[in-house]
């Protein structure tokens, strides 16, 4: 676990209203860089590069395993770690963090992971608050 900050972006799937209105994705992803698209589907403005960019089809479990799992495991080993979602309204923060019963988000996956770690270390005492 490195001691630096990583900025990760997940492009959310279109919601029902956007699909009904036949809207298209307004972003193109290339090599962890996001490019905004104009109404004709062409790049508009500069690209924005992040540590990792996930497309709209990426499952939250994959994001968890790549990004959050190492933070949870490092926390159990005694390192400080923080995972938080930031973005504009309707950008998918709540869905990504909490998920659904069928597709759990980052928080329930972290809880499951934490208790799996605890179960696999019977000789160690844990306090979970």
- 24 labelled ligand-binding: no
* Residue boundaries of the structural domains of the chain: 1-56, 59-121
20 with 7: CB under 8 angstroms? no
- For residue 113, give the nearest of 58, 60, 52, 64 by alpha carbon: 64
Q: What does pLDDT average to over the chain?
A: 92
How far apart are alpha carbons 84 and 110 in whole angstroms? 12
Note the pTM of the prediction, 2 decimals.
0.85
- 88 labelled ligand-binding: yes
Which pLDDT score is estimated for 1?
Answer: 47
- 119 labelled ligand-binding: no
- 89 labelled ligand-binding: yes
- Whether the per-residue pLDDT at 31 is higher than 70: the answer is yes
Which pLDDT score is estimated for 123?
Answer: 92
- 94 labelled ligand-binding: yes
Read off the pLDDT of residues 79-117 as tens digits, 9 standing for 90 and up. 999 999 998 888 889 989 999 999 999 999 999 999 999
- 90 labelled ligand-binding: yes
How far apart are alpha carbons 20 and 17 in whole angstroms? 5
Q: How far is CA 62 from CA 43, 91, 117, in A?
A: 28, 18, 19
- 58 labelled ligand-binding: no
- Mean pLDDT, rounded, for 53-79: 94
């Amino acid at each position: 676990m490195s001691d630096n900050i990583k900025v990760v972006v997940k492009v959310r799937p279109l919601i029902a209203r956007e699909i009904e209105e036949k809207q298209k994705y307004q972003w193109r992803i290339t090599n962890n860089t996001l490019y905004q698209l104009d109404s004709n589907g062409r790049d508009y403005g500069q690209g924005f590069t992040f540590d990792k960019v996930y497309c709209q089809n990426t499952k939250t479990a994959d994001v968890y395993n790549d990004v959050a799992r190492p933070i949870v495991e490092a926390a159990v080993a005694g390192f400080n770690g923080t995972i938080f979602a930031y973005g504009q309204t309707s950008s998918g923060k709540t869905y990504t963090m909490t998920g659904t019963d069928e597709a759990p988000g980052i928080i329930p996956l972290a809880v499951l992971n934490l208790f799996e770690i605890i179960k696999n270390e019977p000789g160690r005492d844990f306090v979970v608050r």
